Amino acid sequence: MSPEKQAAKGMADPMKPRGRPRSGQAHQAILAAALAELARSGFRALTVDAIAARAGVGKMTVYRRWPNKAAVVMDAFLSLVGPATAFPEAPRAIDRIRGQMRLQAAFFNGKFGRAIKALLGEAQFDAELAEAFRDRWLTPRRQMTRRMLREAVRQGDLRADRDLETVIDLLYGPIYYRLQLGTGPITAAYMEGVFARAMRGLARPSASA
Amino acid sequence: MSPEKQAAKGMADPMKPRGRPRSGQAHQAILAAALAELARSGFRALTVDAIAARAGVGKMTVYRRWPNKAAVVMDAFLSLVGPATAFPEAPRAIDRIRGQMRLQAAFFNGKFGRAIKALLGEAQFDAELAEAFRDRWLTPRRQMTRRMLREAVRQGDLRADRDLETVIDLLYGPIYYRLQLGTGPITAAYMEGVFARAMRGLARPSASA
Amino acid sequence: MSPEKQAAKGMADPMKPRGRPRSGQAHQAILAAALAELARSGFRALTVDAIAARAGVGKMTVYRRWPNKAAVVMDAFLSLVGPATAFPEAPRAIDRIRGQMRLQAAFFNGKFGRAIKALLGEAQFDAELAEAFRDRWLTPRRQMTRRMLREAVRQGDLRADRDLETVIDLLYGPIYYRLQLGTGPITAAYMEGVFARAMRGLARPSASA
Amino acid sequence: MSPEKQAAKGMADPMKPRGRPRSGQAHQAILAAALAELARSGFRALTVDAIAARAGVGKMTVYRRWPNKAAVVMDAFLSLVGPATAFPEAPRAIDRIRGQMRLQAAFFNGKFGRAIKALLGEAQFDAELAEAFRDRWLTPRRQMTRRMLREAVRQGDLRADRDLETVIDLLYGPIYYRLQLGTGPITAAYMEGVFARAMRGLARPSASA
DNA sequence: GGCTAAGCGAGACGGTACGTCTAGTCTTGGG
DNA sequence: CCCAAGACTAGACGTACCGTCTCGCTTAGCC
């Protein structure tokens, strides 16, 4: 998926590189073009020819670096959004989580939301793409969330829980669900609702004995 | 999407239908063939030609009834699974919900799970398909769940909640999340975990005051 | 090809016709529509659906009377031009032939020329159509020409010739040649040139001894 | 029609050609396959898919070079028969013409005759195809005939004639007429008959004064 | 007046080929 | 060995039209 992985195909990694070196300029141009085409046409209508043409690059140069169209677009997307949706600063970890959920809601509502939908949709048909999505988008964010959750437990705001994965799913599942299924708007208020119910629980206090 | 909607395109709906009526036999044969091809090849590899050939039907007969391959397969899928994943009987509504969640987990693990993934993925690119998915798969199930939730409130097991939509998202979001993102297996145990945490809440009892 | 031939398929020709009789009105409407479509779209672009629609007739009603689209158009064409291109009156038969050749030139230049081209073109792929063209267009005209030639021989203007077929070919071959190959305009002057050279011969008088 | 003409569509003809050059091998393979399919199935039944498959070539490669199926087959035909039906050697030009007419009769009776019929038929519906037929089949042959006719005049066998076009039509019109209309067999004897009558003329010697 | 047979307008049917499109690979000449 | 350009194979797509079939109805002659 990544250029490094591509390059590793040749066996002579530590050897001195021969011939004309790859143009970093081309790399950037391709990513930019991919992003532009993604915005213009959406994922499906977008063609590799169009990306190459817009980048002023041969198609071969694209395929030398990425195995297929989905991978290019995925990389373009990730290169762009990498640092976004961080956890805002706050004294209590629980508030940082809540803040991040609000940020994510805003994020999912813009054009990035559409891009994520498309990429995630395509990933249903392409295992490698799905892996890339998990490894480079999802996992880092879950990692961060896990850290926050542990901190919140330490600070006495959350119960200790052996299975943080499920906890994360409970908090973030609903937002992806709405994004993909389109059952309603993804607003800050909605995220607050999810957060509050997840914290407090749905059962009547007396009943859960 | 559905044939009825198709037919409604003509302006003279209440008029008596003229000409040779559409063959219900062909309709059924196409749906069956679509299902068979879906099982054999998966959604992407499956072709309309193959469906038509297997159904012993001209390609035109397929395209006369559905606008594209996704719509056919969606209809085929829905015609099959329509009645599945019902709420099992139980004295308390809250237990019926939990039971249904376990059933759904099983359901999502089989070939239906793969079909749903594919359909849901495709729906990210096709608004009409997305609508069909919502209207014919999702909405009826949410409707049913809503009824169950109200019953559970009446029976004193759940808090009253003005926003049942969010409650449903909290319960079912995680399962779709795992299905689509592949972050872990969808087991009965997982569903129990989701259910339990959603009921009890994540916060330390004292903290949520 | 003709309706009579169609009707003769049943074995009980002399039997009294049963059931609803065929509508003469539909027959005429179809021929008229075929002609109109021929003028509008040319032979290739013209569709049976269009003919039927314009005639306000079901497609079946067309196919009950003619075996295929070429046959309809051929009939439409012949019904129209039947009496045209007759031999003009003149005291000497040789002049009637020359006159008819001039008429034919004019005829081939109009829209009928285009229709003949198309019909003749199509006939290269359809034996039945070719037969119809020969039987109903060509043969009657050749018959007439043969009679004229014999008369001209009797009147002392032509040599006696055992093989009138070749003579006719010599006179009329060139006009069809130009029509089909498009090597030049089909004018009255051209026809005169053909006629004159055919009469007088190409060889130097002394040389042909 | 021809590949050169195709290529000329781009505006930068004198520019150095960039990118991978078109494969001459593919070109030849397609023509050969087209010929084979023409022999096997006839013009109408022959499909572009079959040509491409037999040539081991993608359909796109066919359509990149020719605008439609008729154009391919025409090119294939012309590339094959280019040099055929030459004028046989003889001391007197008039005999060379007569000899060529006999050769042409033989030629038109074989499978080439059927191909010419089909191509000529198709050309009635396709102006470009007709042009190709004229430019690459007909015109060169007429050119040659014109030269022969002039030589025969010089040798004293033919009258001088200002309008050689009409003379050629008189000699060759009948053969195409029979080929297209099917009014009789195209034999050497028939050609002799045409030739003789054209030379000597049809009129009674005394009458044509 | 009812019966039977065939024709009627409409339009769906099976089939087949078309010409277009895109993905991903290969091949030029030049850097 | 990389690059831009663009041709390559492969194969699905959606459209078009052919000639046939089927529906509910009408129109005739015969009983």
Asked if D124 reaches chain C (Cβ–Cβ under 8 Å), the answer is yes
Position A11 confidence tier, pLDDT thresholds 50, 70, 90: very low
Nearest of C208, C197, C204, C138 to residue C171 by alpha carbon: C197
The pLDDT, as a whole number, for residue A123 is 87
- Please list, in sequence order, all residues whose beta carbon lies within 8 angstroms of the beta carbon of residue A179, skipping any fewer than 6 positions away: A108, A113, A116, A117, A186
Query: Cβ A178–B181 below 8 Å, yes or no?
Result: no
Residue B40, both tokens: 């054999």
**Residue type for position C75:** D
**Cα of D143 vs its chain's centroid, Å:** 13
Contact by Cβ (8 Å): A46, A37:
yes
C67-84 residue pLDDT tens: 999 899 999 988 887 666
Residue D145: other Cβ atoms inside 10 A? 20
**Residue type for position A71:** A
Mean pLDDT of C88-115: 92
What is the spatial distance between Cα B164 and Cα A193, in angstroms, rounded to a whole number? 11
What is the spatial distance between Cα A143 and Cα A140, in angstroms, rounded to a whole number? 5
The pLDDT, as a whole number, for residue A208 is 46
Nucleotide at minimal C1' distance from the D72 CA: E19
Mean pLDDT of D89-117: 91
Position C126 confidence tier, pLDDT thresholds 50, 70, 90: confident
- Structure-token match 């629609």, residue found: C53
Chains A and B physically touch (3 or more Cβ atom pairs below 8 Å): yes
In three-state form (DSSP H/G/I as H, E/B as E, the rest C), the secondary structure along chain A is CCHHHHHCCCCCCCCCCCCCCCCHHHHHHHHHHHHHHHHHHHHHHCCHHHHHHHHCCCHHHHHHHCCCHHHHHHHHHHHHHCCCCCCCCCCCHHHHHHHHHHHHHHHHHCHHHHHHHHHHHHHCCCHHHHHHHHHHHHHHHHHHHHHHHHHHHHCCCECCCCCHHHHHHHHHHHHHHHHHHCCCCCCHHHHHHHHHHHHHCCECHHHHC
**What is the rounded (10 degree) CA torsion for A65, A67, A73, A74?**
-100
- Burial pattern C172-182, b for ≥16 Cβ within 10 A else e, equals bbbbbbbbbbb
Percent share of chain B, pLDDT over 70 = 89
Query: Cβ A121–B122 below 8 Å, yes or no?
Result: yes
The distance (Å) linking the CA of C133 with the C1' of F28 is 35
In three-state form (DSSP H/G/I as H, E/B as E, the rest C), the secondary structure along A38-80 is HHHHHHHHCCHHHHHHHHCCCHHHHHHHCCCHHHHHHHHHHHH
Burial of B173 (0-12, 13-18, 19+ CB in 10 A): buried
Mean pLDDT of chain D: 87
Contact by Cβ (8 Å): A129, A116:
no
**Cα of B199 vs its chain's centroid, Å:** 25
Distance (Å) from the alpha carbon of C178 to chain D's nearest alpha carbon: 8
Q: Give bridge partners of residue A158 from the DSSP assignment.
A: B203
Query: Cβ D200–C201 below 8 Å, yes or no?
Result: yes
Identify the H or E element spanning D179: helix D164-181
Which of D95, D97, D116, D124 should one mutate to test binding to chain C, selecting the residue with the greatest count of C CBs within 10 A? Answer: D124
> Can you state the percent helix, strand and coil of chain C, rounding each to 5?
70, 0, 30
Phi and psi of A52, rounded to 5°?
A: -60, -45
Write out the DSSP string of C117-174: HHHHHHHTT-HHHHHHHIIIIIHHHHHHHHHHHHHHHHTTSB---S-HHHHHHHHHHH
Q: Considering only alpha carbons, which residue of chain D is nearest residue C123? A: D121
Nearest of B33, B56, B34, B32 to residue B43 by alpha carbon: B34
Please name the member of B133, B197, B207 whose beta carbon is closest to the beta carbon of A157: B207
- Burial pattern B103-137, b for ≥16 Cβ within 10 A else e, equals bbbebbeeebbbbbbbbbbbbbbbeebbebbeebb
**Residue type for position A81:** V
Position B19 confidence tier, pLDDT thresholds 50, 70, 90: confident
The pLDDT, as a whole number, for residue B208 is 45
Mean pLDDT of B159-167: 96
First-to-final CA distance of chain B: 49
Query: Cβ D169–C176 below 8 Å, yes or no?
Result: no
Write out the DSSP string of C163-203: -HHHHHHHHHHHHHHHHHH--S---HHHHHHHHHHHHH-SB
Nearest of C84, C140, C144 to residue C112 by alpha carbon: C84
What is the spatial distance between Cα A50 and Cα A171, in angstroms, rounded to a whole number? 39
Query: Is residue C91's pLDDT more than 50?
Result: yes
**Residue type for position D155:** Q
Query: CA distances (Å), B204 to each of A99, A191, A196, A201, B201, in order?
Result: 19, 20, 13, 11, 8
Query: Is residue D5's pLDDT more than 70?
Result: no
B170-186 residue pLDDT tens: 999 999 999 999 999 99
Query: Is residue B101's pLDDT more than 70?
Result: yes
What is the spatial distance between Cα C103 and Cα C84, in angstroms, rounded to a whole number? 9
C155-204 residue pLDDT tens: 999 999 999 999 999 999 999 999 999 999 999 999 999 999 999 999 98
Nucleotides of F under 7 A from a protein CB: 1-23, 25-30
The pLDDT, as a whole number, for residue B154 is 97
Identify the H or E element spanning D96: helix D93-109
Which parts of B110-200 fold into alpha helices (H)? 111-123, 127-133, 139-154, 164-181, 188-200
Mean pLDDT of C78-91: 82
Residue C169, both tokens: 């070919």
**Residue type for position B9:** K
A137-164 residue pLDDT tens: 899 999 999 999 999 999 999 999 999 9
Query: Is residue D9's pLDDT more than 70?
Result: no
Q: Give bridge partners of residue C158 from the DSSP assignment.
A: D203
B 17-46 residues with CB < 8 A to A: 43-44
What is the spatial distance between Cα D49 and Cα D62, in angstroms, rounded to a whole number? 9
Position C125 confidence tier, pLDDT thresholds 50, 70, 90: confident
C 166-185 residues with CB < 8 A to D: 166-167, 169-170, 172-178, 180-184
Residue A99, both tokens: 């803040």
What is the spatial distance between Cα A202 and Cα A196, in angstroms, rounded to a whole number? 10
Tell me which of A146-150, B15-19, B37-41 is least confident. B15-19
Tell me which of A160-169, A184-193, C76-85, C100-109 is least confident. C76-85
DSSP assignment letter at D24: H
Query: Cβ D182–C118 below 8 Å, yes or no?
Result: no
Query: Cβ D184–C165 below 8 Å, yes or no?
Result: yes
Please name the member of D166, D176, D201 whose beta carbon is closest to the beta carbon of C194: D166
pTM over 0.75: yes
Distance (Å) from the alpha carbon of C64 to chain D's nearest alpha carbon: 25
Distance (Å) from the alpha carbon of B203 to chain A's nearest alpha carbon: 4
Contact by Cβ (8 Å): C180, D124:
yes
Query: CA distances (Å), C202 to each of C141, D188, D207, in order?
Result: 26, 20, 16
The distance (Å) linking the CA of C21 with the C1' of E4 is 14
**Residue type for position D28:** Q
The pLDDT, as a whole number, for residue A179 is 94
Most confidently modeled range among B134-148, C79-93, D81-95: B134-148
Percent share of chain C, pLDDT over 70 = 89
Query: Is residue A24's pLDDT more than 80?
Result: no
Nearest of B85, B192, B73 to residue B138 by alpha carbon: B85
Within 8 A of A185 by CB-CB distance, chain B residues are: none
Give the CB-side neighbour count of residue A46, counting CA atoms within 13 A: 26
Answer with the residue of higher pLDDT: B9 or B203: B203
Mean pLDDT of B186-199: 97
The pLDDT, as a whole number, for residue D15 is 65
Please name the member of C169, C190, C208 whose beta carbon is closest to the beta carbon of D194: C169
The pLDDT, as a whole number, for residue A207 is 47
The pLDDT, as a whole number, for residue A126 is 81
> Helix (H, G, I), strand (E, B), or coil: what is residue D51?
helix
Structural domains present in chain C: 3-67 (1.10.10.60), 86-208 (1.10.357.10)
Query: Is residue B209's pLDDT more than 90?
Result: no
Neighbours of chain B (3+ CB pairs under 8 A): A
Percent share of chain B, pLDDT over 90 = 59
Contact by Cβ (8 Å): C85, C103:
yes
Query: CA distances (Å), A161 to each of A99, A157, D120, in order?
Result: 21, 12, 85
Mean pLDDT of D162-183: 96
Which of C168, C175, C177, C191 should one mutate to test binding to chain D, selecting the residue with the greatest count of D CBs within 10 A? Answer: C177
Query: Is residue C31's pLDDT more than 50?
Result: yes
Residue count (chain D)? 209
The pLDDT, as a whole number, for residue C110 is 82
What is the spatial distance between Cα D108 and Cα C125, in angstroms, rounded to a whole number? 16
> Helix (H, G, I), strand (E, B), or coil: what is residue C8?
coil
The pLDDT, as a whole number, for residue C98 is 96
Query: Is residue C51's pLDDT more than 60?
Result: yes
